[in-house]
Amino acid sequence: MEFDWNYTVSLLASKDFWNATLLVAELSLAAGILSIFFGFLVALCRLSAKTYLRIPSLFYVWFFRSLPTLVLIIFVYNMPQVFPSTGYLLSTPFITGLVALVLSETAYMSEIHRGALQSINKGQREAGRTLGIGAYGIQRLIIIPQALRIALPSLGNQMVTIVKLTSLVSAISLTEILLVGQRLYTQNFMVLETMLAVAAFYIFIVTIFDLSLKFLERRLDLTKRSAKLYCGKAPVLMAENGKYRNDAKATIALELKDGVKTFGNHTVLDSIDLKVMQGEVISIIGPSGSGKTTLIRCLNGLEILDKGFVFLNNKPFLSGAKESSKHPKPSIEQIVDVGMVFQNFNLFPHLTAIDNVLLAPSYHARNTKAEREAFASSLLQSVGMLSHKNKYPHQLSGGQQQRVAIARSLALEPSVLLFDEPTSALDPETVGEVLKIMEDLAKSGRTMIIVTHEMNFAMKVSSRLIFMNGGKIAFDGDPKSLDRSRPEYERVLNFMTANA
């Protein structure tokens, strides 16, 4: 018996097949969107620290990934026999197929989401926290947009799988493409001709889905976007010398009392006391592992002290784990009053330079939109980055990214600025441009605490120098007071000479 090509071609114009194709597209799209949404919720539960969320989600993924989709479809279709109350919901094969596909595919989608969420650097969350953005805001504004871009190719692949899985719904008499084909070839026995037409319709749907997803990927791919230079002007905003100082009487800006921090059996901070006056510029130096970065992270809550207290502007701010139950959590106003510049920049890669600066003021609804944008532009101009305001972080050099990060830390006008080795991730050519910005900030009278290995910079701009060693403060004083003739300063001076 010869293959009848004319018959196959005639089926491509069949109204029944096109109706079935539309049905498959609707079912696939609905199942895919719902699975992506519920899969994300399951992924969040899988990553939760709460056992009552993590364990059920783990069981859900294990169970529905183990269960064959066809078995699940038949089970859901017959569920009203066991639970009559479900008869209203599962009244049609379309709804039954949709429920079964969503139950099954949510498990797979959740694993894709989980992988994407875990790939986001923890520095992104820390940057959000230092800007006073809550847990929900961090997920919505920072984590989810990045995770979706990472997960999109895999999610698209799973959407294609859903299109093909709709053929299984023919088992419960949903008039989709395969069932239409089966009805035809049982009448005329032209199996190959009919199945070739069935394959053509599935290929058509998958191609449409694939092209749409590739278009979406291109739209969301930040590496494909051109770098746009901004040529406009904005007023320069760099505080006049002394603006942030209290000339009448020096007051305490930040204070740490009896700070203790351990990791396992290793004591990183050993009963540290530190008092920072308004307008002071303090550089913290010391060998690796001496506790410098841990100290600065404990001052803004990125690390929780085991014991001790932090006061901000003479008011309780942070407390150690042992005392936390006795003291209220810091307010948003206090959190945003301590700005932070990270070693690795931690800019939000899905936002342009100006949007990075605008994120926190917009989230906290500071001033009007026009005022926020003018202020953000002014900050970018003050760090020499206004012409690059529309660029994404990957389009900027390391020094440019760090300058944007400094502008972002100033966006909420904090009274204290923390710098965690801000030049250690930069090449030698770009270190100078960042240090110049920091020097200008120091001259403006801002209160600054800087962890640094730049000894010449520390000697030049610091009103106080702190040398840490073994989790303790070995020296705290005016850098000009260091005298090699005094034996107690020999360790500090040798370290500075070796690292100059």
Fold held by 5-220: MetI-like fold (1.10.3720)
Hey, where are the domains in the chain?
Answer: 5-220, 252-499
Q: How far is CA 123 from CA 4, 169, 246, in A?
A: 63, 45, 34
DSSP run (H or E) holding 309: strand 307-312
Tell me, what's the pLDDT at 15? 92
Tell me, what's the pLDDT at 485? 62
Whole-angstrom Cα Rg for the chain:
31
Please give the DSSP secondary-structure letter assigned to residue 83.
-
Tell me, what's the pLDDT at 324? 65
Please give the DSSP secondary-structure letter assigned to residue 447.
E
Tell me, what's the pLDDT at 240? 43
SS3 state of residue 394? helix
Query: Which tens digits make up the pLDDT trace of 60-115?
Result: 999 999 999 999 999 998 988 888 888 778 878 899 999 999 999 999 999 999 99
Alpha carbons 197 and 191: distance in angstroms, whole number: 10
CATH 3.40.50.150 is right for the domain spanning 252-499: no
Summarize the confidence of residues 146-168 as an average pLDDT: 91
Q: How far is CA 60 from CA 96, 114, 318, in A?
A: 19, 14, 39
Summarize the confidence of residues 8-15 as an average pLDDT: 90
In percent, the amount of the chain with pLDDT more than 90 equals 57
Q: How far is CA 500 from CA 132, 343, 457, 466, 496, in A?
A: 36, 19, 10, 16, 6
Closest CA to 272 of 53, 135, 94, 471: 471
In percent, the amount of the chain with pLDDT more than 70 equals 92
Summarize the confidence of residues 304-321 as an average pLDDT: 90
Whole-model pTM: value is 0.84
Same fold, 5-220 and 252-499: no
Residue 216 reports pLDDT greater than 50:
yes
Return all residues near 34 (Cβ < 8 A) that are at least 6 apart: 98, 102, 106
The mean pLDDT value of the chain amounts to 88
Check residues 418 and 247 and name the one with the higher pLDDT: 418
**Tokens standing for 306?**
């085991």
Q: How far is CA 457 from CA 282, 285, 298, 352, in A?
A: 11, 11, 24, 30
Alpha carbons 448 and 450: distance in angstroms, whole number: 6
